[in-house]
Amino acid sequence: MATLLIEIEDKKLKFFKELLQNLPFVKMKEVHPDEDSDEQVLENIREGIKEVRSVEKGETKSRPARQFLQEL
């Protein structure tokens, strides 16, 4: 089985999805590249907890909130 990535204008998406859903040999999976997967979110949370614990133990220094916000 092959995988095909297609970019479609938002206004044509509904029509195209309906068309593909009516083909028995097509399996669809929506991908939202701007959203993190559940696994990525959990890994980010784990990493954040490790960083907080490291700061609490004095192993690393925290940084001012203003500096953090400027990096965003």
Q: What percent of the chain has pLDDT over 90?
A: 36
Domain spans of the chain, in order of start: 36-72
What is the band of 7 on the pLDDT scale with cuts at 50, 70, 90? confident
CA distance 6 to 13: 11
How is residue 64 written in tokens?
């001012």
> What is the average pLDDT across 30-51?
83
CA distance 58 to 42: 25
For the question of whether the overall pTM of this predicted structure is more than 0.75, the answer is no
The per-residue b/e assignment along 28-55, b for 16 or more CB within 10 angstroms, e otherwise, is eeeeeeeeeeeeeeeeeeeeeeeeeeee
Task: Please give the single-letter amino acid code of residue 68.
Answer: F
